[in-house]
Amino acid sequence: MLKVKSTGKTAVAVCSRSFSKNPILRTELEARYPGTKFNDAGLPLKGDGLIDFLRGFEKAIIALEPITERILTALPEIRVISKFGVGFDKLDLDAMTERGISLGWSGGINKRSVSELTICFAINLLRHVSETNREIRAGTWRLKPGRQLSDQTVGIIGCGHVGKDLAILLRGFGCRVLAYDIRNFSKFYTTHGIEDCSFEKLLETSNIVSLHLPFDASTKNIISESRIRLMRTDALLINTARGGLVDEQALKSALKNGRLAGAAFDVFTTEPPDDPELIGLPNVLATPHLGGSTHEGILAMGRAAIAGLDQNCIPRPGLFPV
């Protein structure tokens, strides 16, 4: 059991723009921490700008801001970093551990928002919703038959909080669901009728492949050119997890030459994405990292971040965060 560490009721700096714009979260945080500093300018904070914003504060709420060793070295007063969201790939956890800086983090708090977006992507691509909408706006009325989600085999790579939630929703549609994870979730698979299979079999079999992995050295470009070649030519690839999981140049080539039917991405290696050719392809859907950005998801993430200011602990490899 990890020990909860609490530091005093000092003022807090909130880097996240969406948290700062939410009146409910602002009110709830200021009731506990008067004098909180918010990112009211709506600036994307990084590097020296992030250092300047956080200077003098003991506690911070961050979202996608990169917390590097250089940032932490420049801010020796920081004692607690609480995460607005679930991904921690932009946090230098080793540097936090070395300096005794605690992390406030809760997993799975936005899982339904992300899993619903994944289903939205799947139906949109299967039924050509965005494509035919563009055509109608351009004056073309063309019937383009699609496919039902209910009849598809969906492969979920990464069966954590979001992966499990998505699997349950897909079973409700009547989909055949395959799952791959390095962890053993056999009880969950049996309970919900999910098929545990190898990475290669999942890619070869699935009509839709959906990624739900963290990003680290072991998952970088895990969907490589060679693995894309294993996929069916009528398959769809969906990524609502983290940028960097897919070799985007290999993906673009596969989409252009018909080796893959379509892709939907909410996250990219570089954000905003710097490849207009990729996101401009007619068989690509792209959204600006909004998977958890529902009213409900933002409140859940924000309240977890507020709680994390007092309920937190120093990162411990293999134990926290999970």
Is 271 catalytic? The answer is yes
* Active site (annotated) includes residue 131: no
Catalytic residue among 58, 147, 242, 248: 242
Q: For 269-308, give the DSSP string.
A: SSSS-S-HHHHTSTTEEE-SS-TT-SHHHHHHHHHHHHHH
Instruction: Kindly state the tokens that stand for 221.
Output: 């470009």
Residue 152's alpha-carbon distances to 109, 132, 160, 206, 236, in angstroms, are 28, 21, 21, 8, 11
pTM: 0.88
The sheet with strand 262-265 has its strands ordered as 195-196, 176-180, 153-157, 208-211, 236-239, 262-265, 284-286
Q: Is the pLDDT of residue 49 over 90?
A: yes
Write out pLDDT tens, residues 156-212.
999 999 999 999 999 999 999 999 999 999 999 999 999 999 999 999 999 999 999
Please, what's the largest Cα pairwise distance for the chain? 63
Closest CA to 99 of 120, 119, 75, 126: 75
Residue 317 has pLDDT above 90, yes or no: no
Strand ranges for the chain from DSSP E = 12-14, 37-38, 59-62, 80-83, 102-104, 153-157, 176-180, 195-196, 208-211, 236-239, 262-265, 284-286
Joined tokens for residue 183: 């962890």
Catalytic residue among 30, 77, 200, 271: 271
Catalytic member of 79, 112, 212, 289: 289
Q: By percentage, how much of the chain surpasses pLDDT 70? A: 97
Domains defined along the chain, listed by start: 12-109+294-308 (3.40.50.720), 111-286 (3.40.50.720)
Q: Which residue has the tokens 């050719």?
A: 277
pLDDT digits (tens, 9 = 90+) for 80-133: 999 999 888 889 999 999 999 999 999 899 999 999 999 999 999 999 999 999
Q: What are the φ and ψ backbone dihedral angles of 27, each rounded to 5 degrees? A: -65, -45
Task: Please say if 232 is a catalytic residue.
Answer: no
What average pLDDT does the chain have?
A: 94
